[in-house]
Structure 1
Amino acid sequence: MLTFALALFATSFLGAFAITTPPSGAITVSKAGGKGKYNTVQAAVNSLPDAGSAVIFIYPGTYTEMVYVTRTGALTIYGSAASETTYTGNTVLLTNKVSAVAIGADDLSAPLRVHKNNFNLINVNVQNTFNTGIGVAVSYYGTEIGTYGCQFLAYQDTLLTETGEHYFVNSYIEGAVDYIFGQYSKAYFQSVILASTGHGYVTASGRTSATDTGAYVFNGCTVKSSTKAVAGTAGTVYLGRPWGAYARVIFMYSDLTDVLNTAGWYEWTVGVYPSHVSYYEYNNSGAGAWNSNRAKFSQQISATVANEYSLDNFFSSTSWILTL
C-alpha cells in the first residue's frame, strides 16, 4: 500500500486502495473501449487545472505517445501493477521511437517530459525504441521528483535528470551509452538495477563548476549486463565519463558485476586527463568492484565522506519522498 504525504495530495486521494484500482478522485486512462475516462495519458494531463494536487491512474496497456507535463500543482502518475514496491509486475508501457538529432534536442525526444516540481511516477515503464543513436526515454526538469518501481529503457541517453532534486527507488534503467545524464540535478538512486546493453558508460555527469551542488549518488544499486546485451559486453562498460569538467558521481554499497571494465571510469576525450572530477566509490562488492587497475582520477572514500551522501544528508529535505 502507498502512504501519500499530505503535502502532495488532497484528502480525497488518500486512503487504502489496490495497485490495480484507482483511488477515489483519480483521473483514469485506458485504451479505447476500456474503463478510463481518457484513452491517452496526455489527454488526462491536459484535462487537469494548473493548480491543486492531482492523481492520474493508467490501466494496463501500451501507450504510444509523447507526454509533456508542466502544470504547477502536485501530480502523481501511476500505472496498474502487481506490486507497488517493484517494477517487475508493471503492466503500463509509455513508448515512442524518436531520434534526438532528428527532433532537434535531447529533451524533445523523450516519450515522458516532466517540466515541473512536485511530481511522482509510480509503476510505469517508459521506452524510446530508437536504438541507433540518442533517444531519451524520460526527461526531468524540476525539483522534488520521485520515481518508484519504474523501468526506463533506451539505447543512448535513456534518462535525462537535468535540474532539481530527483529520487529513484526499486527501479530499472537500461541503456548502453551515457544512459543516465544531465548537468545540474541532485539525483539519488536507491536499489536501482542499471543494466547495460552494450559497450558504453552508465553516467555522463555534466557538472561544470566546483560550486555546483549537483551529483549522482547510487546507493545499494546493481550494475550488470542486460538480458538484451550484445555479445562481448562483459568488461566493456564504465561507471561514467565526465560530460562536464567537474563531474560528480558516487557508487556505494552497490553490486558491481563483471560487466565493468577494471578501470571503472573513463575520460571524455581519450588521452585528456579529467583533473577536477569527483568519481567516488565506497564499500561496493562484486567482480567489478574497486581494484588496482582503477582509473587514477577516481578514488575510494572514507565512511565519513560516504555519510555525506546518505539520503538524509544529500537532499535539503526528504519530506517529499513517498513511503512505500
Structure 2
Amino acid sequence: MSIVHIFLPVSLVIFLAIFSSAHHDHEKSTPSQMYHACQATRFPELCETSLTQLSHLPPNTTSLQIIQSTISVSDHNLKTGQSMVKSVLDTSKGNLNRTNIATICLDILSYSSYRIKSAHYALTHGNIKDARAWMSAALGYQQNCWGALKYVNDTKLVVDTMLFLDSLVHHSSNALSMMVAYDNYGEDTTVWTPPKTERDGFYEKGSGGKLELRFNGGFPSNLKVDVTVCKNHRKCYKTVQEAVDAAPKNKKGRDQYVIKIRKGVYEETVRVPFEKKNVVFLGEGMGKTIITGALNVHQPGMNTYNSATVGVLGDGFMASGLTIRNTAGSDAHQAVAFRSDSDHSVIENCEFLGNQDTLYAQSLRQFYKNCRIQGNVDFIFGNSASVFQDCEILVGPRQTNPESSENNAVTAHGRTDPAQSTGLVFHNCVINGTEEYMRYYKKNPEVHKNYLGRPWKEYSRTIFINCKLEKIISPDGWMPWSGDVGLKTVFYGEFRNSGPGSDVSKRVPWSTQIPSQNVPTYSVQNFIQGDQWIPKSH
C-alpha cells in the first residue's frame, strides 16, 4: 500500500473559501443530519457551533461530507496552533527548556498536519481504517504538544497557547469520533453514538472467528542490500546515521532502502527523519550488531522524546538482527532506547535494552515479532497500535539492594481519547525477569512487585492473549497510576494466559477477562490491518 503525500484536498480549499466569507445566521436551523452527527462526538456543542458557523451545511449533506468538514475545522485550527507555538519559540531565547519543548511541539504539530491531510484523503477514497489510524495519531500529537507545554507554562503566551491547543484537541476528537461512528454504524447518523470502549461492553467487530492469532508474516527475506555500515573496512559507512542520511526521500510503496549493519558496537544517536520512508536496518544478530547511547532526562535540556538512542519517524521502517540500548542506568529515570512513530513498521529479532521507558511505541501501527525487550519502569509505553508476537518481555533490576521494595509496570499505554484506535497487544509472549533480577526477587519476593501495566493516560488499553506470565507478576495484575485516575475508563484485558502469574482470581476489579468471541478483535489483521502491509512468510 502506498503512503500518501502531503497535499491540500480540493474539499479543504473549498472549505477555507467558505470559512473566509462565512457570516453568522442565528435564525437558520441546524440540519438534522449534522445535529445527529455531532451528538456522536464527545464535544457536541463545539461541533455544532463550528459546523453551523463555518459551512452552513444543507439538509441533504451526506455523513461523509460532514466528517470531511469536521476534519477541515481541525486542520484550520491546527494552523493557528502552529503559529502560536512558533511565537512561543521566538520569545524563548535564553530559556533552554522552553526552546526545546517549543521546537519539539512545532515538529510534532507538523506531523499532525500531515496525518490530518492523509486521513482526509483516505476517507475520501474509502480507506476508513487508515483514516482512523492517521487521525488518531494527529490527535495524539496535538495532545502531546499540550502536555509538553504544561512543563514550561510560565508566561501568558504559553498559557494562551495551551488553552487554544485544548480546543484544537476537542475539534480533532470530534472528527475522529465521527469516523468511528461511520465505520461501526454506517451512513445513517441517527444511529451513531459517542465512542464506546470495551469497558462499556463494546468490542469492534473482527473478521474471522478463529482463536489462532499467530500471524504468518514479518521481516522479509532475500532483501537486496543498498549500503553497508561497518567498523573496519574502507568501503562502507562508518556510522548508521551517515547511511540513513544517504537514503532517498519519500520512496514509494514498499520499495525498501536496505542498510546492512555489520557486527560491532555503534555508539551514536540515530534519527530516521519523516521524509525517509521504507528504511530497513539489517543487522547480524542480537548482541552482535549493537547501537548504543546514554541520553536521559537528567541531562540539561533533555526530555524523554529526544533521549532515544534510535528514533524513527519515516513510515515503513523495518529492522532485524539488532540490539538497541540505552545505558543511562536506572537512576537516570526516563531514558529511551528506541522510539517509533513509523506507520506500517515491522521489527523482528531485535533486542531493546534499558530501564525506565525502554521502548517508546509512540504512535501509529507497529508489529514486533520474536523480539526481546528489557526494562523495569513503564518500559513499553506510548500511544501506538502495536502488536507484539512471540516476544520475550524481561524485567531487569532497578536497584542493587534486594531488600529495597519496588513496584515495576511492564507497560504504560497513553491513549487519551476513547475514539483512538490504539493499544498494546501481546500475543504468545513470555513475561519474566532477567537472571540478575531473579536473584534479587528470590531473596525477597514480598518487596519486589511487578505488574502488567498501569494507566499513563485515561483510556490506556493493553491486552495479553495466550502469554506465559511467570511468578514475578503480582496477583493484582495491574497497578494504578495515581489514585483512581483512569480506573473507570482503561481497558486491561487478558485471555487464556498461562504460568504462575496468570491466576486471575485476585486481579484488580478494573481489569477484564476478554470473552472468547471478542478475541479476534485483537488479531494482527483486525487491530493493525497487518495483512495489508506486513510481508507474508513463504
- The TM-score, its normalising length taken from structure 1, stands at 0.87
| Match of residue 382, structure 2, among 165, 182, 185 | 182
2:265 maps to 1:54: no
**CA root-mean-square deviation:** 2.1
Q: Which residue of 1 aligns with 2:289?
A: 92
Q: Which residue of 2 aligns with 1:119?
A: 317
Rounded Cα–Cα distance in structure 2 between residues aligned with 1:107 and 1:311: 27
Rounded Cα–Cα distance in structure 2 between residues aligned with 1:36 and 1:251: 46
Q: Which residue of 1 aligns with 2:340?
A: 140
Q: Give the direction of change, closer, same or farther, for the CA distance of 1:64–1:193 in structure 2 (3 Å limit).
A: same
| Match of residue 458, structure 2, among 245, 249, 252 | 245
Contact 1:142 1:165 in 2 (8 A): yes
Contact 1:281 1:290 in 2 (8 A): no
2:318 maps to 1:109: no
Higher strand share: 1
Rounded Cα–Cα distance in structure 2 between residues aligned with 1:271 and 1:161: 25
Q: Where do 5+ consecutive residues of structure 2 fail to align?
A: 4-219, 398-406
Structure 1 counterpart of 2:464, one-letter code: F
The alignment partner of 2:526 has SS state of helix
Instruction: Give the number of equivalent residue pairs.
Output: 299
Deviations 1:17-45, CA, capped at 9 Å, x for gaps: 5xxxxx655200001x3265101000111
Q: Give the direction of change, closer, same or farther, for the CA distance of 1:274–1:58 in structure 2 (3 Å limit).
A: same
The alignment partner of 1:100 has SS state of coil
Rounded Cα–Cα distance in structure 2 between residues aligned with 1:121 and 1:25: 13
The alignment partner of 2:500 has SS state of coil
Q: Give the direction of change, closer, same or farther, for the CA distance of 1:135–1:274 in structure 2 (3 Å limit).
A: same
Structure 2 counterpart of 1:196, one-letter code: V
Q: Give the direction of change, closer, same or farther, for the CA distance of 1:43–1:304 in structure 2 (3 Å limit).
A: same
Contact 2:279 2:314 in 1 (8 A): no
Q: Give the direction of change, closer, same or farther, for the CA distance of 1:36–1:248 in structure 2 (3 Å limit).
A: farther
Measure how far apart 1:252 and its partner are. Answer: 0.5
Rounded Cα–Cα distance in structure 2 between residues aligned with 1:205 and 1:173: 16
Structure 1 counterpart of 2:262, one-letter code: Y
Measure how far apart 1:214 and its partner are. Answer: 0.7
Structure 1 counterpart of 2:313, one-letter code: H
Contact 1:100 1:107 in 2 (8 A): no
Q: Which residue of 2 aligns with 1:3?
A: none
Moved more, 152-161 or 36-45: 36-45
2:412 maps to 1:215: no
Deviations 1:293-317, CA, capped at 9 Å, x for gaps: 1011001111111111011111234
| Match of residue 440, structure 2, among 225, 228, 231 | 231
2:409 maps to 1:201: yes
Q: Give the direction of change, closer, same or farther, for the CA distance of 1:192–1:24 in structure 2 (3 Å limit).
A: closer
The alignment partner of 2:378 has SS state of strand
Contact 2:336 2:358 in 1 (8 A): yes
Q: Give the direction of change, closer, same or farther, for the CA distance of 1:113–1:273 in structure 2 (3 Å limit).
A: closer
Identity of aligned residues (%): 29
Structure 1 counterpart of 2:431, one-letter code: V
The alignment partner of 2:375 has SS state of strand
Measure how far apart 1:100 and its partner are. Answer: 2.7
Q: Give the direction of change, closer, same or farther, for the CA distance of 1:28–1:267 in structure 2 (3 Å limit).
A: same
The alignment partner of 1:117 has SS state of coil
Contact 1:29 1:35 in 2 (8 A): no
Q: Which residue of 2 aligns with 1:84?
A: none
2:468 maps to 1:255: yes
Contact 2:225 2:260 in 1 (8 A): no
Measure how far apart 1:239 and its partner are. Answer: 0.2
Measure how far apart 1:117 and its partner are. Answer: 0.6
- The TM-score, its normalising length taken from structure 2, stands at 0.53
Rounded Cα–Cα distance in structure 2 between residues aligned with 1:91 and 1:301: 40
Higher helix share: 2
The alignment partner of 2:228 has SS state of strand
Q: Give the direction of change, closer, same or farther, for the CA distance of 1:287–1:24 in structure 2 (3 Å limit).
A: closer
Q: Which residue of 2 aligns with 1:12?
A: none
